[in-house]
Structure 1
C-alpha cells in the first residue's frame, strides 16, 4: 500500500516504483511536493541533499547562507523515526531531478486534506456517550470510572482548539500551528468540537484528560498534507520531550485521497509509542483509498447513527477497525466559551474512540499502541452494526463499564 504514489509528470512516473493512482481533481497543491528519503540516510547525507537542492535552484549568493535560502525553498522538514524528508515548492525540472536522486525513496504531490464533518443540525442532546457505555442501544446514562482519563494527553490534529471553553476546565492548551497567516485560534469550530468529545467535562469521554491543539487545518477546514505531517512531527517530539509516551494519544478527524507520506508519518508516530485514532472518511467508499484512514497501524473509525446502522456517509472496508457514534453529535463550538453545536461525520466518531483510548490508558494502565487497540477491539460489541459495508469489522466501541 505504501508504494502507491501520486504521479508528478511523465518523467517522474518513470523513476517512481509501484502503481500510481490518480488524485482527485482539486486536491493537489500545484508546484508543491513532499520528498521522502531512504530510511537509512544519515544526518550529514540528508543535509548534503538539502544543500544540493538549494544550490540547484540557484538561490545561494555571496550574501545568503544555505540555511537562509532553505527557509524559502523548503516549507517543512520531517524526522519521524524511519520517515525523513521535507516539503517545498519546486518547478518541474527540479522535482524531476530530486526524484531521480538515489537517496530519495519517493516524491509525492502535496495535497489538501479536509475535516470529515457533515451537515450542521439543530442543537439537540448528544447520544454518543450513553451508547458507548452500554451493550444495548436506547439507554440514556453515561457510565464510566471516575479516573476519567486523568493523567493522559490527547493531541488533537485539527483546526485548533478554543482552549478557554468551559468544557475544558483549564485542561486544554495550544501546541502547534502549521497554518501561515492564521492565529492559533480555532477559526472553524471543528477542532474544538472534536477535542471536547474526547475530553469535555460534560460532553467528553475522558473528562479529566488534557488536550493539546495541533492546528494543521485552516478556518475553512482544509490544509496541506505537508503541514499535517509537520504537526505529527511536532507532537511526537513534544510527547517524547515531556515524557508523555505511554500516556499520550492522538486524534485525526481529517482526510483526503491516498497519501503514502501521510500514512508513513502516522505509522512512524505509532511506532514511537503514540496510539493514533483516525476518521474513516465520509465518502461511502472503501477507506483503503483515503489517508490517513488507510494507515494499518492506526485505529480507523467508521460512524454509526442512533439506530446502530452504519451512517450513510461513512467509509468502510478492511482498513476499518471499529465503529462509533458519529451522527448528530453535540459538543463544544467556537463563538463563546459556552457555545455548542451538533454535527455529523466520521470526524465525530473518531474522538469517541480517542477519548476511550485515553480513558483505558488511565483506568487500566495500558501503555503501548498495540495494547490500546487490542483492548478497544476486545471490549467492543460485535455484530450490532447494520449494513457495516463490505469487508468492515462489525464492532461497535464499548467502554466496559458494565463488565
Structure 2
C-alpha cells in the first residue's frame, strides 16, 4: 500500500468518525418518551435562550414555504411558550424532525407523551339536594354548612364521627383567590359555581387541535374537581374564582405539551389579574423534564401548585415514580377513605405530602345544571387540598408556595389518623401519616 493510499484511507476513516459524531450530536437533541405512552409526531422545541422564539419559527416557516427543505418536510406550529419554557410546540414529520435537529438555534426537542386524569368513572348523575348555611362569609366567626358529602364533613372533625356539617375556620371562604383547574374543562353553567367559573382566555387543547371549545368540559372530570374546590354545596372554599384551563381532551387524556401550554396560560392570566393563585393538577403520567421546568416557573412566580400521587390498578406504587406530583415544591395529595384508611390503589411513598378525602366523593356533574356524581381517586383528594390552600391564601394572600406547604402540613393536618395496616409494608414507614384538617388553622396565624 502506498503512502498516498494509506493517507486517503485514514482521511476517509476520520471523516466517517466526524460525520458519526455530528449525527450523534443531532440525535442527542431529541429527548424521547417511553414507547407505550408516546404521542407520535408531537414535539416541543426548546430554543437557545439567546434566540428569539418568533424569529426561529419564522425562519423555519419561510424555508418550508420556499421549498428549502427536502421532500417530506411537514410542520404544524401549535403555539409557543415564552414564560415557562423557551420554545414552541409543533407537529413534525420524520423528515422535518431530522432537519430541525440541524438548526443551531435549537437546544433540544422533547417528544410528547400522554398524561391522564386520575379518577375512576363516575356514578350516574342525579339531582343535587339543597343545603343550608349559617354565618356570613366575611365575618370573623366560622362559616358553617350542612353537607351531604363525607369529604367535607371529615375536614373539620377530629375523628370519623360525622355530623353532616362543614365549618371553615375564621369565616374564610377563599374569596379573592383564583384557582386554575388544569383538567378536562368546567361546566360553567352548573349552579354550584354561581357564575364564579370561567375561561382565562386560553384553551391548550383548542390550540393543539385547532378547535374552539373554550374550556368546556366533555368528560365531567374537571367539573367534579372544580366543584370540590369551590362549589356552593360541595366546595371546600365556596368563595373562590375558578378558571378552566383545558389540558385533557374528550377522552380524559392530555399530554406533556398540553400541560406546559396550560402553565403558560396560567402565568399570563396571573400577571394580568394580580391575585393570589393556585393551580390544581389532578393529572398524572410519566416524569417529564419539560413539565418540571414549566411548573418550577409557576412556583418561582409565587403560584402554589397542588398535584396528585397518582393511582395504580390494584395496590399503591411509589409516588416518586409518577409525574408531575413528584416534583419538589408541589403539594402532593393521596386519597383517603371514609373509614380513615388510604384508598388502596392511590399511590404512596415519600413524595406524598398528605392525605385528603378521595373515595366516593360527591360533587358537580356535567349531566345537568344541578346534577351531581360520585368519583374516586387521588384526583378527588387534590381539590380538597386546593380548597384548603385557598382558605389560607385568603387570610395570607402574599404567602409564598414553600410557606403555604409548610403551614398546610404543620397546622392544617392531623397526624397518625390513618390506618396504614393494609398498606404494603414497604410504604408504611416512608409515607407521611397526615390527614387534611382545615379547622386546625389558627385565626391568629402570622402571615
Pick from 213, 226, 238: which aligns with 1:183?
213
Shift of 1:366: 5.0
Pick from 34, 50, 59: which aligns with 1:42?
50
Could you say which residue in structure 1 is the equivalent of 2:64?
Answer: 59
Q: State the distance in 2 between where 1:252 and 1:303 align.
A: 14
Could you say which residue in structure 2 is the equivalent of 1:66?
Answer: none
1:117 matches 2:119: yes
1:79 matches 2:107: no
Could you say which residue in structure 2 is the equivalent of 1:15?
Answer: 28
Could you say which residue in structure 1 is the equivalent of 2:376?
Answer: 344
Question: RMSD value over aligned CA atoms?
Answer: 2.7
TM-score, reference length from structure 2 = 0.77
1:252-291 to 2 correspondences below 5 Å:
252-283=281-312, 284-291=316-323
Could you say which residue in structure 2 is the equivalent of 1:89?
Answer: 91
Could you say which residue in structure 2 is the equivalent of 1:3?
Answer: none
Higher relative contact order (CA 8 A, sep 6+): 1
Return closer, same or farther for 1:104/1:385 CA change in 2, 3 Å cut-off: farther
Deviations 1:235-258 (A, max 9, x none): 1111111112xx111101112122
Could you say which residue in structure 2 is the equivalent of 1:386?
Answer: 419
Could you say which residue in structure 1 is the equivalent of 2:328?
Answer: 296
Return closer, same or farther for 1:304/1:159 CA change in 2, 3 Å cut-off: same
- Determine if contact 1:288/1:319 at 8 Å carries over to the other structure: yes
Deviations 1:345-392 (A, max 9, x none): 111000000111111111344521112111111121122223363532
SS in 2 for 1:77: strand
1:2-401 to 2 correspondences below 5 Å:
15=28, 23=34, 25=36, 27-38=37-48, 41-44=49-52, 46-54=53-61, 58-61=63-66, 73-81=76-84, 83-96=85-98, 98-99=100-101, 104-121=106-123, 125-140=148-163, 141-145=165-169, 146-175=171-200, 176-179=202-205, 180=209, 181=211, 183-184=213-214, 185-244=216-275, 247-283=276-312, 284-365=316-397, 367-379=399-411, 380-387=413-420, 389=427, 391-401=430-440
SS in 2 for 1:73: strand
Could you say which residue in structure 1 is the equivalent of 2:5?
Answer: none
- Determine if contact 2:75/2:92 at 8 Å carries over to the other structure: no
Deviations 1:205-227 (A, max 9, x none): 00111101111111211123212
Q: State the distance in 1 between where 2:307 and 2:35 align.
A: 20
Return closer, same or farther for 1:223/1:365 CA change in 2, 3 Å cut-off: closer
The structure with more radius of gyration: 2
- Determine if contact 1:144/1:401 at 8 Å carries over to the other structure: no
SS in 2 for 1:349: helix
Deviates more, 1:275-284 or 1:336-345: 275-284
SS in 2 for 1:42: coil
Return closer, same or farther for 1:43/1:234 CA change in 2, 3 Å cut-off: farther
Task: Structure 1 unaligned segments of length 5 or more: list them.
Answer: 1-9, 63-70
SS in 1 for 2:199: strand
Return closer, same or farther for 1:163/1:383 CA change in 2, 3 Å cut-off: same
Q: State the distance in 2 between where 1:315 and 1:235 align.
A: 27
Shift of 1:52: 4.6
- Determine if contact 1:15/1:100 at 8 Å carries over to the other structure: no
Deviations 1:289-344 (A, max 9, x none): 22211211211111111122111111122222111110000000102110100110
- Determine if contact 1:24/1:257 at 8 Å carries over to the other structure: no
Return closer, same or farther for 1:341/1:291 CA change in 2, 3 Å cut-off: same
- Determine if contact 2:32/2:111 at 8 Å carries over to the other structure: no
Deviates more, 1:226-235 or 1:72-81: 72-81
Task: Structure 2 unaligned segments of length 5 or more: list them.
Answer: 1-22, 68-73, 129-147, 443-447
Could you say which residue in structure 1 is the equivalent of 2:18?
Answer: none
Q: State the distance in 1 between where 2:435 and 2:417 align.
A: 7
Could you say which residue in structure 2 is the equivalent of 1:67?
Answer: none
Q: State the distance in 2 between where 1:30 and 1:402 align.
A: 47
